Amino acid sequence: MFKNEYQGGPFVEVFSAQGKDPAAKWKFFGSPSAIWKDFDKEVKSFVFILEGSSQTNRMQLPKENKQTLGLIQQFLILQVNVPLGKDFSIELLIADLGNIKRRLYLSTVHKELSSTPLHAKIPLFIIRRKIWCNLCIDLVAFTSGIFKGAVFQSLDGIIVSANCKLRKIFTMKLKPKGTPEEDDVFICCPTSVKNNEQILVPNKL
Which parts of the chain register pLDDT below 50? 180
By residue range, what is the domain housing residue 110? 11-173+196-204
The CATH number of residue 85's host domain is: 2.60.120
Q: State the pLDDT at residue 30.
A: 97
Phi, psi values for residue 179, rounded to 5°: -75, 160
C-beta of residue 195 within 8 angstroms of C-beta of residue 40 = no
185 within a domain of the structure (yes/no): no
Q: State the pLDDT at residue 188.
A: 66
Cβ-proximal residues to 203 (8 Å cutoff; 6+ apart), any chain = 141, 145
**Exposed e or buried b per residue across 95-127, where buried means at least 16 C-beta atoms within 10 angstroms of its C-beta:** bbeeeeebbbbbbbbbeeeebeeeebbbbbeeb
29 within a domain of the structure (yes/no): yes
Q: State the pLDDT at residue 47.
A: 98
161: nearest Cα among 85, 49, 15: 49
Q: State the pLDDT at residue 59.
A: 98
113: nearest Cα among 153, 73, 147: 147
188 within a domain of the structure (yes/no): no
66 within a domain of the structure (yes/no): yes
Q: State the pLDDT at residue 4.
A: 87
**Bond into 163 cis (ω within 30):** yes
6 within a domain of the structure (yes/no): no
Chain center to CA of 187: 16
93 within a domain of the structure (yes/no): yes
**CA-CA distance, 157 to 79, in Å (whole number)?**
17
pTM: 0.93
Q: State the pLDDT at residue 202.
A: 85
Specify the number of domains making up the chain.
1
186 within a domain of the structure (yes/no): no
User: If 0-12 CB within 10 Å is exposed, 13-18 middle and 19+ buried, where does residue 2 land?
Assistant: buried
**CA-CA distance, 159 to 15, in Å (whole number)?**
12
- Between the alpha carbon of residue 107 and those of residues 92, 159, 160, 173, 204, the distances in Å are 11, 11, 10, 25, 15
144 within a domain of the structure (yes/no): yes
Q: State the pLDDT at residue 184.
A: 56
Q: pLDDT by residue (tens digit) across 148-186? A: 989 999 999 999 999 999 999 999 999 987 554 555 565
